Each structure stands twice: as C-alpha cells, then as structure tokens.
C-alpha cells in the first residue's frame, strides 16, 4: 500500500502544481494546498486515470472543514451521447453503492440488538429469526446447519458461506430491497444448505470469507426483528431508524421520480506484453441494469460520514458506536497460520494504523449497474471519506492505483492527516450484482 500511496502522491502533487502553476511562480505566495484543493485534485486524478464519466467525493473532517464537511462533484452523469442526456454531477446526484449497503444492514441489526428486553442477541441462531412468526411460510425454514449459524457469524463474514452460491440462479437479494417475501428458490436454498456433493462444500464457521448470500440471509432475518410488517419492511425500518434521523433524504433501495440519477458504465482495461506492465484503457460502455442495493448522494453520504466519525448524542450514536466495536480477528478461510487475521466490526472491515488508530472500511460495486463506491472512516481523526463513481472497472488486468477508489480515499486522508496508513492491506473490493 505504501507504493500505491507514493504513486498517488506523485500524481496529486503534479495535479496541484498544474492548478497552481501561476501562483507558484511567486515565491511569496503560500503554495500549501487547502483541504478543498486536496479533495479536488483527488477527484481529477481519479477521472483522468479511470476515465469514469463522473464521481462525487464526500469528506467529513472536523479539523479541515469543521462540522460542515465538504462534498465535491466532478464530471458527468453518463457517457456522451447517452439517453437521457448527461448532466453535470452535483452533490445530490444519485449513485448506486453496491455492498456499502451492508453497513446499513449491520446498523439495523445493531439497532435491533439495543431494543428492549426480549429482543435479539448477537449469538442467536439466524434460524430463530428467519422463522419468527413463520412469516416466510408455515413450515420450518433453514437446514440444521443454516439454522445454527449465528447473527454474529453472518455480520462478520465468518459463517463459512461462499460469496455467491453457484447453485442459485436468481437475483436473490431483489425481494429484500423491494420489501417482498424471499424468492421460493432462496427459501429452498436455505432448507438444503449446504448443497449436497458434488457441489463445493463450505468451510466450517469461524474463518473469514466474504459472503454476499450470507448478508442477504442476515438482511431477511433483521427485517423480522422490527414491526410493522415483519419480513417485508427493509425500506421502512431503514428510514425510521437510520436514514430518517440522519437526514439522508435521498438514500434508499427504490429510486424516486424526483431524484437526479447517474447512469452507470463499465470500463475495460487490457494489458500489453511490450513493454511489460503497460496498462491501457480500452473502452467504456453504458449499462442498462439497476442493482438491488441502496442508492445515495454525496450530500447524504456526508451526513453518514459525520455520524460515523463523530457519533451523535442519543440512541443512534450508541448504535453506531456498537457497529465499530471489534468483534474479533478472524483467520482467512483456507489460509495458513502465518496469514494476518481480519478484524471485523459489525459489517465494517477494519484495520489499524501504525499508531493504533482503528480504520473502518466498506466498499461496493455493481457489475451490472456500472457503479463503484467506498467509505473509509477513522473516528480517532474525526475523519471519513466516501467516493461514489458511475463506473465499474472490469479489471481484466490490474489497473493503476490512481483509478482505485480505495486509493483515492486513503490518499485524501493521508494528505489531511500525514502519517496515516493502515498496517495491513485493506481487503479487495467486492461485487454485488
């Protein structure tokens, strides 16, 4: 990661130089970049290297921007010639966020865990909640193996479930975010989990293996913990307990008619053998699908970052703080004893700086929707960065760190807080269909 930050720093410094070359010719002028310039340069570098149509960067940093934060949009909502016609990205342009949705689901779980006596416990088996009031059917749901997996197993990606089930050929998260009953094929998958051989068998719970299907299963269980309309209420409880109190008026799974929505696209990279390592951008293409996830804006993500970096007073602040409590450090599945363990909060993937400051990260991408997003928060710095992009990079070859959203976010934090740097590499970005 140090090399990545060095490359980004060089690009950053050149960008600032070109922006300020006239002023820099006067030695009497202070050329130290302002916090706003740091963010603006990071956005420009990202668009230059990734050739994404547009992006929006939200930064909450109490030292740099006070309590107001800063949101910087750049580029266009779609590729030239797209339908509807592209417009300039603004702070309220709506982007898909893919698996960043997971930290909203985990916050809903944390809210449920803090409810009155008789509510869920983190050690409850997920089957208890999938079968709550038999909302999803009169019979027992979940095989003995799945029934016994705990809420903690699912929210920390230690259930042993694979990322995507190879034997489930449906968009299995669709009904969760549409406030509907789970697809019958998903219920059947729960009932036979793990699928019998010759299907690949998952490892036992306790090791870390990222799982989209595990988090969707958790999401359905969480919807059973809240009334009204148990089991078909994801958007209702999200608005009541998280987005509503935080003032996130354009965050939800369903696009509203008044929202200004960006169009996604897919970028492709090709690698040529001569000279070795040369990476060339091939093309962009618009997408036609919408992912089953949450959508949001730079303005709304700033509110989310503020709550994560400086938890608000009251019950919601305690809920947010509980999601940031490290549950444990888990060994990677199929790893050896020398592999670093993965620290996890509730839904948050964690690492630590050399000075011991906790870093919370969640990334997301929609390979069909054509979007990428990342959130990185360092509460000890009262700092958080979210980057939204309307391009999904289909990395057929490694692409430059300057085109990686994690590198963009880390570089901003490193310039606002010199010396920042997680002590272990942050996990690779994941893809949510």
Side-chain-side CA neighbours of residue 222 (13 Å) = 33
Beta bridge pairs of residue 267: 284, 393
290 and 372, same domain (yes or no): yes
**Predicted local confidence at residue 258, as pLDDT:** 96
210 and 291, same domain (yes or no): no
186 and 301, same domain (yes or no): no
216 and 259, same domain (yes or no): no
**Predicted local confidence at residue 431, as pLDDT:** 53
Which residue range forms the structural domain that includes residue 159? 116-224
188 and 297, same domain (yes or no): no
The CATH number covering residue 351 comes to 3.40.710.10
Give Cβ neighbours of residue 296 (< 8 Å, ≥ 6 apart): 94, 95, 97, 248, 250, 251, 304, 388
State both tokens at 423: 């002590």
Measured in degrees and rounded to the nearest 5, phi and psi for residue 415 equal -80, -30
- Residue 90 inside a domain? The answer is yes
- Residue 235 inside a domain? The answer is no
- Crossing angle, helix 315-323 and helix 298-309, to 10 degrees? 80
**Predicted local confidence at residue 1, as pLDDT:** 45
Give the separation between CA 222 and CA 111, rounded to whole angstroms.
10
- Residue 346 inside a domain? The answer is yes
- Residue 102 inside a domain? The answer is no
- Residue 433 inside a domain? The answer is no
259 and 404, same domain (yes or no): yes
State both tokens at 107: 């916050």
Asked if residues 97 and 373 have their Cβ atoms less than 8 Å apart, the reply is yes
Give the separation between CA 327 and CA 322, rounded to whole angstroms.
10
328 and 218, same domain (yes or no): no
- Residue 255 inside a domain? The answer is yes
172 and 267, same domain (yes or no): no
397 and 292, same domain (yes or no): yes
**Predicted local confidence at residue 277, as pLDDT:** 60
Tokens 């406030």 label which residue?
179
283 and 199, same domain (yes or no): no
Number of domains in the chain: 2
pTM assigned to the model: 0.92
405 and 302, same domain (yes or no): yes
279 and 381, same domain (yes or no): yes
Consecutive 10-residue runs of the chain (433 residues): their mean pLDDT?
A: 50 50 48 93 95 97 96 97 94 97 98 87 97 93 97 98 91 96 96 92 94 98 95 97 98 95 89 64 80 95 98 94 97 75 96 92 92 97 98 76 90 93 58 52
């Amino acid at each position: 990661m140090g090399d990545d930050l060095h490359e980004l720093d060089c690009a950053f410094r050149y960008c600032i130089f070109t922006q300020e070359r006239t002023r820099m010719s006067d030695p009497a002028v202070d050329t130290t970049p302002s916090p706003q310039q740091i963010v603006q340069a990071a956005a420009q570098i990202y668009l230059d290297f990734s050739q994404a149509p547009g992006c929006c960067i939200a930064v909450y940093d109490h030292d740099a921007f006070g309590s107001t934060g800063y949101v910087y949009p750049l580029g266009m909502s779609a590729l030239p010639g797209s339908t509807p016609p592209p417009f300039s990205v603004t702070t309220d342009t709506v982007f898909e966020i893919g698996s960043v949705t997971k930290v909203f689901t985990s916050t809903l779980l944390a809210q449920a865990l803090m409810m009155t006596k008789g509510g869920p416990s983190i050690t409850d088996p997920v089957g208890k909640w999938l079968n709550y009031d038999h909302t999803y059917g009169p019979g027992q749901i979940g095989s003995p193996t799945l029934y016994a997996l705990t809420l903690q197993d699912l929210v920390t990606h230690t259930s042993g479930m694979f990322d995507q089930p190879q034997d489930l050929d449906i968009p299995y998260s669709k009904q969760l975010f549409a406030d509907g009953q789970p697809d019958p094929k998903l219920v059947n998958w729960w009932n036979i989990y793990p699928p019998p051989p010759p299907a690949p068998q998952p490892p036992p719970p306790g090791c870390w293996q990222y799982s989209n299907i595990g988090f969707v299963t958790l999401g359905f269980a969480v919807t059973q913990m809240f009334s009204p309309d148990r089991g078909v209420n994801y958007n209702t409880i999200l608005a009541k307990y998280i987005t509503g109190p935080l003032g996130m008026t354009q965050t939800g799974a369903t696009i509203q008619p008044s929202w200004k929505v960006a169009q996604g696209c897919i970028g492709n990279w090709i690698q040529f053998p001569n000279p070795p390592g040369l990476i060339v951008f091939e093309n962009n293409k618009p997408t036609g699908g919408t992912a089953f996830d949450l959508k949001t804006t730079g303005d709304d993500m700033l509110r989310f970052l503020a709550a994560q970096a400086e938890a608000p007073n009251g019950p919601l602040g305690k809920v947010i703080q509980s999601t940031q409590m490290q549950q444990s450090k888990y060994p990677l599945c199929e790893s050896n004893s020398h592999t670093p363990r993965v620290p996890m909060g509730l839904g948050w993937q964690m690492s630590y700086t050399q000075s011991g400051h906790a870093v919370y990260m969640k990334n997301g991408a929609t390979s069909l929707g054509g979007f990428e997003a990342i959130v990185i928060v360092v509460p000890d710095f009262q700092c958080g960065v979210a980057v939204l992009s309307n391009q999904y990079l289909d990395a057929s070859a490694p692409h430059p760190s300057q085109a990686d959203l994690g590198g963009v976010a880390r570089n901003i934090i490193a310039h606002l807080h010199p010396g920042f740097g997680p002590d272990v590499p942050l996990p690779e970005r994941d893809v949510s269909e």
